[in-house]
Amino acid sequence: MSEQEDKPQQDINQIIEKRRAKLAALRLAGNAFPNDFRRNDLASDLHKKYDEQSNDILEANPIIVRVAGRMMLKRIMGKASFATIQDMSGHIQLYVTNDITGESTYATFKHYDLGDILGAQGTLFITRTGELSVRVTSLRLLTKSLRPLPEKFHGLTDREQKYRQRYLDLIANEDTRKVFVARSKIIQSIRDFFVTRGYLEVETPMMHPIPGGAAARPFATHHNALDMDLYLRIAPELYLKRLVVGGMEKVFEINRSFRNEGISIRHNPEFTMLEFYEAYQDHTYLMDLTETMLREIAVKILGTTKISYQGHEIDLAYPFLRLSINKAIQKFQPEYTDVQLNDRTFLINKLRSLNIIHKPEEGIGGLQLYLFSETTEHLLIDPIFIIDYPTDVSPLARRNDNNPEITDRFELYIAGREIANGFSELNDPEDQAVRFLEQAHAKEAGDTEATHYDADYIRALEHGLPPTAGEGIGIDRLVMLLTDSPSIRDVILFPQLRQEN
């Protein structure tokens, strides 16, 4: 690769130009991108071990360390300088001097730029102001940075740039790093939670010939060799239940699903979902399990069951309320009476006054659900399970034994948002076939989110799905909740944005 080739077409900023000249000089002097420096020490480990150590002891028994990282701050003071480097664990200060580090190394160091990746060896000491530092004996530039860092005090605040150039956001903003470390820990603790309980983690296809398992518009793609249309999955549900048919009685999957719908503060086209299924259990078991899991994760991540989300103080420690849609509306909107909420005409008029469009043949339960979504959902700050969802809007859920109009289903709301959706699975293949047909008719009638008839799934159910409970949890939203992030984009490393330019 020649240097001419990788020059950008646009005007080169003079800072970049200057740095390119430095890189050119490095190339002439030898290997500009060496990979023979081995780090022995992480910043945070050194702080943990030696922050409390007295300087006398450190000076008496010199501890030789090798650290590496990106230079974030540089303070040149004549013949001695301080530099702060940042590695994956944190920061450590280097003390670079004319006499100890050597005149030529020191002179070279003075021309290093903020953002350069350095490797240093030296001994630990504690400065007059009490900061553990490395008295550098040897110092090398491992990677030249050609572009200037964001401003050192304010960091990077431009939201577009944070999302597009996440690497810069991660370099400059510790808060961002913390969020994504927390995300990783949350997912790990979910994994631990299920594996500990005897669940098997599986991966099912993300490319589906028939999209199913949710009401949503899919992304479409095409396989050339098979000459076959495929859809990015909108949910893993139907495959996971096939696995339960196959004898994997406790399974879970944590991975991406895709929905071709609007983008907002709560929606990214690809999002991470946990789904888990357990045979010989029902939805009430799932609610108990969910409470236990959320408490456990919160304690692991935050050290407490108390979470603070966008000004709301929420404690997961108490048993979560469980209310039907109807009861929840009455509790949070006392102006509505039980009689009104069961009066079809009242509901239709109310929805019309709220400008809510619904299917003309919608049943009482469906109308209540519309009213609930509009008036009550956002008020559900403390954790609450909403139960007894209408069968019409739950094509994969088991009918309630006493009332076939509702299903054994719940959704969990926290901070006004749906966090989880679970139910006792519909394992009657003939009922499922009828429900699929209803969906197929709705699709023909123009409902773009209605699901397809999945004949293989019916065939699987005909082999016998044991009575099973299954649940899905939106991981991104859970991470938002636990990291106090206002937007889903703050918890997804590279959220979907419009094309640049």
- Which residues, 35 to 74, sit near RNA by CB under 7 A? 73-74
Q: What are the strands of the beta sheet with 321-324, ordered from one edge?
A: 200-201, 250-258, 270-279, 468-474, 417-424, 409-414, 384-387, 321-324
Residue 305 buriedness (CB in 10 A; 0-12 / 13-18 / 19+): middle
- Single-letter amino acid code for the residue at 486: P
Nearer to RNA, 219 or 453 (CB): 219
Nearest distance from residue 397's CB to RNA, in Å?
12
- Part of the chain binding RNA (CB under 7 A), chosen from 41-49, 204-212, 282-290, 482-490: 482-490
- Part of the chain binding RNA (CB under 7 A), chosen from 237-245, 313-321, 437-445, 493-501: 493-501
Which helix or strand (DSSP H or E) is residue 93 part of?
strand 90-97
Task: Based on the shown chain and the rule CB under 7 A, indicate whether residue 360 belongs to the binding site for RNA.
Answer: no
Nearer to RNA, 279 or 414 (CB): 414
Nearer to RNA, 134 or 469 (CB): 134
The 3-class secondary structure across 305-354, one letter per residue, is CEEEECCEEEECCCCCEEEEHHHHHHHHCCCCCHHHHCCHHHHHHHHHHC
The Cα 365–Cα 334 span in angstroms is 19
Pairing of strands 132-143, 220-223: unpaired
Nearer to RNA, 75 or 306 (CB): 75
Which helix or strand (DSSP H or E) is residue 65 part of?
strand 64-77
The string of DSSP codes covering 33-56 is: S---------HHHHHHHHTTS-HH
Nearest distance from residue 299's CB to RNA, in Å?
23
Instruction: Count the Cβ atoms, other than its own, within 10 Å of residue 36.
Output: 8
Q: Give me the 361-390 binding string for RNA, x by CB under 7 A, dash otherwise.
A: -------------x----------------
* Token pair for 60: 């008496």
Contacts to RNA from residues 421-460, by CB under 7 A: 421, 449
Pairing of strands 64-77, 117-126: antiparallel
- Part of the chain binding RNA (CB under 7 A), chosen from 189-197, 198-206, 210-218, 327-335: 210-218
- Part of the chain binding RNA (CB under 7 A), chosen from 137-145, 156-164, 174-182, 453-461: 156-164
Nearest distance from residue 267's CB to RNA, in Å?
4
Contacts to RNA from residues 157-186, by CB under 7 A: 157-161, 163
* Token pair for 361: 């043949």
Nearest distance from residue 255's CB to RNA, in Å?
13
Nearest distance from residue 10's CB to RNA, in Å?
9
Nearest distance from residue 125's CB to RNA, in Å?
6
Nearer to RNA, 339 or 357 (CB): 357
Distances (CA, A) of 209 to 217, 233, 236, 394: 14, 9, 13, 22
* Residues 470/423, Cβ–Cβ less than 8 Å: yes
Q: Which of 77, 225, 339, 445 binds RNA (CB under 7 A)?
A: 77
Q: Which of 214, 301, 316, 341 binds RNA (CB under 7 A)?
A: 214
Nearest distance from residue 473's CB to RNA, in Å?
8
Nearer to RNA, 106 or 457 (CB): 106
Q: Which of 50, 82, 285, 453 binds RNA (CB under 7 A)?
A: 82
Contacts to RNA from residues 96-155, by CB under 7 A: 97-99, 111, 113-114, 125, 127-131, 133, 147-155
Nearer to RNA, 240 or 245 (CB): 240
Query: Which residues neighbour 484 within 8 Å (Cβ) at sequence distance 6 or greater?
Result: 307, 308, 309, 310
In this structure, the dihedral spanned by the alpha carbons of residues 420, 423, 429 and 431, taken in order and rounded to 10 degrees, is -110
Instruction: Count the Cβ atoms, other than its own, within 10 Å of residue 95.
Output: 20
Nearer to RNA, 47 or 197 (CB): 47
Contacts to RNA from residues 404-423, by CB under 7 A: 417-419, 421
Task: Based on the shown chain and the rule CB under 7 A, indicate whether residue 346 belongs to the binding site for RNA.
Answer: no
Nearest distance from residue 149's CB to RNA, in Å?
6
Cα radius of gyration (the chain): 29
Total number of residues that touch RNA (CB under 7 A): 81
* Residues 452/438, Cβ–Cβ less than 8 Å: no
Nearest distance from residue 228's CB to RNA, in Å?
25
The distance between the two most distant Cα atoms of the chain, rounded to a whole number of Å, is 89
Task: Based on the shown chain and the rule CB under 7 A, indicate whether residue 497 belongs to the binding site for RNA.
Answer: yes
Task: Based on the shown chain and the rule CB under 7 A, indicate whether residue 11 belongs to the binding site for RNA.
Answer: yes
Contacts to RNA from residues 236-295, by CB under 7 A: 259, 261-269, 271, 273
Interhelix angle 283-302/475-483, rounded to 10 degrees, is 40
